Structure 1
Amino acid sequence: MLYSSGYPSISVIVPSFNQGQFIEDTLVSIFSQQYPNLEVLVLDGGSTDNTVEILEKYSDRITYWHSKPDKGQADAINQGFAMSTGEVICWLNSDDMYLPGTLLDIGRRFQGRTDQPYLVYGNTILLYQDGEEHKAVNSQLGEPFDAFQLTHYDFIPQASSFWTRKLWQQVGELNLKYSFVLDWDWFIRASQVTSFDYIPKFYSLYRIHEAHKTGVGGEKRRQEIMEIVEIYSSSYWTDLYAIVSEHYAAIRAKSQFLKRWRVPKWQTVLLLLIPKLRAALETPQHLFKILEMYG
């Protein structure tokens, strides 16, 4: 790698499995950053679609890639970070993209800080896709850093987060037991080492589609969220998540009904319909944070 530019070296890890319809967009979004000190490692879990064909197409620009079975997304990312050399590291899932200028902005922010445990995160654009059609665009805004809030509400857009190798070494690898909250668990552990810097800029595009992992996680994903809250957060939040989980089907059904019929102040009405939940809440906003987490 060349260091004459003054920019710190960045390693982007791309975990992949059967995302051949999207991974070319992901790779192009990385290469088009024109970042001077960049390495890209793609860890594919043995895809059976056209992923390998695309990786071969870009093999002269990919620092390292393989396609073979692994133990899941966390394992692929851990492998990638272990092989990487960048002073700044991050991962981009194979259906997401970086926005133009992201890595140059990040590189500037990390100049002179690569010897510290340091993490930066920003915002992401949400792209809702149905087949080949883009249905809608929304946004996920990060929030100013709050270590306690992070224990019960994940406000960090993973695709728009970047950190030093020094921080990774101090925190340790992703936990292989998690399929859906692997990033949140790691962010919480990292927040016990250092505070993070929130940058109110858009760095990435997060694609939501038919096979989107978070969207199809269902009960298993909710169980993982509950476990994180039980491990790291307070008894109030643990109890509140448990009550919401107990009444989750009813909450969803009632809220959908109220919104469908455009009931005024439907959030207030919803709480009236579920007294046990209303009694447990310090503020109604807490319920909607949990529902946002559950999706």
Structure 2
Amino acid sequence: MTDYPSISVVIPSYNQGQFIGETIQSVIDQQYPNLEILVLDGGSTDNTVEVIEQYIDRLTYWHSKKDKGQADAINQGMRLSSGEIVCWLNSDDMYLPGTLLEIGQRFRGLTDQNYVIYGDTQFLYEERRPRGARKVQYAAPYDPLMLAYYDYIAQPSAFWTRKLWEETGELDLRYHYVLDWEWFLRAGKIAQFEYVPKLYSIYRIHTSHKSSSGGIRRKQEVLDVVKTYASEYWIDLYQEVDRCYPTFKPWLKRLRKLGIPHQEWLLSQFVPALRSKLQHVQDLSKVLAMYA
């Protein structure tokens, strides 16, 4: 198994002590023969450090000190790593068994190219639904036009060559919520993307989950990326949804609570200004998903 390409897994962390042990263990359990694990903790104030210390002999590198946020932690980890294949796994997510062995096999002969391989992810809900409730987030075959307005790549199930990371550049520190999406869009200018319809990771949803609690700042970041990369149609639609949201929010909450189908079509009927912007009713669901 010495011909497997080396893989570096960077784990950014901050106050996820209740989950990070499972995250690290899921990487160790891959039993990948040529593996680096780097944990970059931003100075957690919970029990994160105590958990990390239980795995010191299995880590290539770790620290716990203040940083400039998740993007900065990941960038630091990438600079310290040496793997031919690189990725990051957030400290509340996990890899499914056998993921890295398959990824290593798929990257044989591709490490000198600008290449991305990505798959699907299993959602794990800790709260709001019955604990342990799950659903699958299916990605989609690579479509650069769609990626400009809708992030369908499941980040914990994505892996790429070091060559691509170095040629694309590091994560943009301006972004706290859409850092992965914006990086994939930049990488798409020079990379080949391969979608594998297979589950590679578990994406945990909980009350302190960052992506679902971003509020206004997350919306601002999403809109900034859309304005930079998407067409005028999508820019107008995102802006109109943002403007009309206070109007249709009560309707949306009722429809979702009642489980009524065709919610996007009904919403468009309630808000004529929004309906006039839509080319396809399904477009509204993508905007709502991105705005979380």
Render the CA deviation track for 1:47-72: whole Å, top value 9, x for unaligned.
11111111111100000000000000
Q: Does 1:74 align with 2:75?
A: no
In the other structure, the counterpart of 1:164 is 161
Q: Report % sequence identity.
A: 55
* Alignment counterpart, residue 144 of structure 2, candidates 143, 147, 150: 147
In the other structure, the counterpart of 1:223 is 220
CA gap 1:56/1:230 in 2 versus in 1, 3 angstroms: same
Q: Name the SS of the counterpart of 2:56 in structure 1.
A: coil
Shift of 1:266: 3.9
* Alignment counterpart, residue 117 of structure 2, candidates 103, 117, 120: 120
CA–CA distance in structure 2, aligned partners of residues 152 and 142 of structure 1:
14
CA–CA distance in structure 2, aligned partners of residues 271 and 153 of structure 1:
19
Q: Does 1:177 align with 2:174?
A: yes
Shift of 1:115: 0.5
In the other structure, the counterpart of 2:131 is 134
Render the CA deviation track for 1:62-101: whole Å, top value 9, x for unaligned.
0000000000000000000001000000000000000000
Shift of 1:171: 0.2
CA–CA distance in structure 2, aligned partners of residues 264 and 93 of structure 1:
33
Q: How many residues align?
A: 291
CA–CA distance in structure 2, aligned partners of residues 28 and 263 of structure 1:
40
* Alignment counterpart, residue 245 of structure 2, candidates 245, 248, 252: 248
In the other structure, the counterpart of 1:201 is 198
CA–CA distance in structure 1, aligned partners of residues 86 and 64 of structure 2:
21
CA–CA distance in structure 1, aligned partners of residues 166 and 256 of structure 2:
47
Shift of 1:135: 4.5
CA–CA distance in structure 2, aligned partners of residues 117 and 85 of structure 1:
16
Shift of 1:250: 2.5
Shift of 1:263: 5.0
RMSD (Å), alpha carbons: 1.3
State the TM-score, normalized to the length of structure 1.
0.96
CA gap 1:142/1:265 in 2 versus in 1, 3 angstroms: closer
CA–CA distance in structure 2, aligned partners of residues 260 and 130 of structure 1:
16
CA gap 1:264/1:167 in 2 versus in 1, 3 angstroms: closer
Report the AA paired with residue 63 of structure 2. H
In the other structure, the counterpart of 1:65 is 62
Report the AA paired with residue 124 of structure 1. T
* Alignment counterpart, residue 95 of structure 2, candidates 74, 81, 98: 98
In the other structure, the counterpart of 1:284 is 281
Q: Does 1:29 align with 2:26?
A: yes
CA gap 1:62/1:255 in 2 versus in 1, 3 angstroms: same
Structure 1: runs of 5+ lacking an equivalent: none
CA gap 1:246/1:39 in 2 versus in 1, 3 angstroms: same
On the 8 A contact 1:147/1:195 being kept in 2, the answer is no
Q: Name the SS of the counterpart of 1:95 in structure 2.
A: coil
State the TM-score, normalized to the length of structure 2.
0.97
CA–CA distance in structure 1, aligned partners of residues 2 and 27 of structure 2:
19
* Alignment counterpart, residue 237 of structure 1, candidates 234, 242, 248: 234
For residues 259-270 of structure 1, the aligned pairs below 5 Å read 259-261=256-258, 263=260, 265-270=262-267
Shift of 1:257: 1.8
Which segment is superposed worse, 56-65 or 268-277?
A: 268-277
In the other structure, the counterpart of 2:36 is 39
Shift of 1:122: 0.2
